[in-house]
Amino acid sequence: MTQIMNLLMLAPDIQEAILFLPRVESGRDPINLPRVQRIALTPDWRKQRKMWGELTGV
C-alpha cells in the first residue's frame, strides 16, 4: 500500500503520463515500479521531470 501511495508524490504531469502509457505488446515494460519509486521519492518536481525524461527518452 505504501509503495502505491508514494506515487501520489509524483508531479501531476508525470502521474498523467503514467496513466496514459501505451500498452506493452511484447517483452518487458521498461517503466516499472522500482524505477518510478525512485522518481517519486525525489521531492523536487523539476528533478522528477528530468528523471522521468531520462527514463522515457522524452
Encoded amino acid at 45, one letter? W
**What tens digit of pLDDT does each residue of 14-29 get?**
999 999 999 888 888 8
Tell me the C-alpha distance between 46 and 50, whole Å.
6
pLDDT confidence bin for 34, thresholds 50/70/90: very high
